[in-house]
């Protein structure tokens, strides 16, 4: 059994010393490696503790943050993408990455009945929000950029922004289409302390 992650790498069997690529009833997934001897060694205990922390961190994500990972997952679940990245980050002394929330509203506060906000990543639709709701929330990771923001009205669409770097401040981001007569305002509140280190891109091995 082989697994291909979002970077195009394929995995079979052991992933380093901590995880194993496996399959059950046609579904690919990763799991903690269980040592055949001395399962309570200091190293194994440490690895299992990190894995447990990753699982708890997943449970604390918002529905839209989980939706992000489910959409970018390739050959495995969003849960496994997140856990694999979390374990790798902690093992390399990096701050684990979580999607940054972005809140959007229509500029005038009124609904756009046939309007949609579409967020794509590498030609893959990550979020599709109805503008009839007047406001909404998405969540994006800096390491998976760039993202393409598209406004739609009926069958017409207009690419209004290509986001190369995900902002981490509350500075408003205008999303406007003169062609479609739609204007949104989006912002990403800054919840990271000024002294906190930036999370580096996840290693290519998950």
Q: Is 135 exposed, middle or buried (0-12, 13-18, 19+ CB in 10 A)?
A: middle
pLDDT digits (tens, 9 = 90+) for 117-161: 999 998 899 999 999 999 999 999 999 999 999 999 999 999 999
Q: Which domains does the chain have, with CATH numbers?
A: 3-91 (no CATH), 100-187 (2.60.40)
Query: CB within 8 A of 113, min separation 6: which ones?
Result: 131, 132
Helix (H) or strand (E) holding 160: strand 156-163
The mean pLDDT value for 76-87 works out to 95
Query: CB within 8 A of 136, min separation 6: which ones?
Result: 103, 104, 117, 129
Percent of the chain with pLDDT over 70: 72
* 188 confidence band (pLDDT: 50, 70, 90): confident
Task: Report the distance separating Cα 50 and Cα 43, nearest Å.
Answer: 11
- Retrieve residue 48's tokens: 């299992």
Tell me the CA distances in angstroms from 98 to 54, 69, 151, one per residue in order.
Answer: 11, 10, 25
Q: Provide the whole-model pTM.
A: 0.74
Helix (H) or strand (E) holding 101: strand 100-106
Mean pLDDT of the chain: 82
């Amino acid at each position: 059994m082989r697994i291909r992650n979002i970077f195009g790498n394929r995995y079979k069997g052991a992933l380093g010393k901590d995880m194993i690529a496996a399959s059950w009833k046609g579904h690919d997934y990763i799991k903690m490696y269980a040592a055949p001897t001395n399962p309570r060694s200091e190293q194994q205990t440490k690895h299992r503790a990190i894995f447990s922390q990753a699982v708890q961190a997943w449970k604390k994500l918002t529905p839209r943050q989980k939706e992000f990972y489910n959409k970018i997952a390739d050959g495995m679940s969003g849960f496994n993408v997140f856990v694999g990245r979390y374990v790798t980050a902690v093992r390399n002394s990096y701050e684990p990455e979580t999607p940054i929330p972005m809140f959007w509203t229509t500029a005038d506060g009124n609904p756009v009945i046939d309007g949609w906000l579409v967020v794509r990543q590498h030609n893959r639709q990550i979020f599709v929000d109805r503008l009839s709701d007047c406001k909404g929330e998405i969540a994006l990771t800096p390491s998976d950029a760039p993202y393409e923001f598209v406004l739609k009205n009926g069958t017409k669409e207009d690419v209004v922004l290509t986001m190369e770097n995900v902002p981490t401040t509350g500075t408003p981001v205008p999303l406007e289409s003169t062609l479609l007569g739609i204007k949104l305002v989006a912002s990403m509140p800054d919840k990271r302390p000024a002294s906190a280190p930036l999370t580096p891109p996840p290693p290519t091995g998950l």
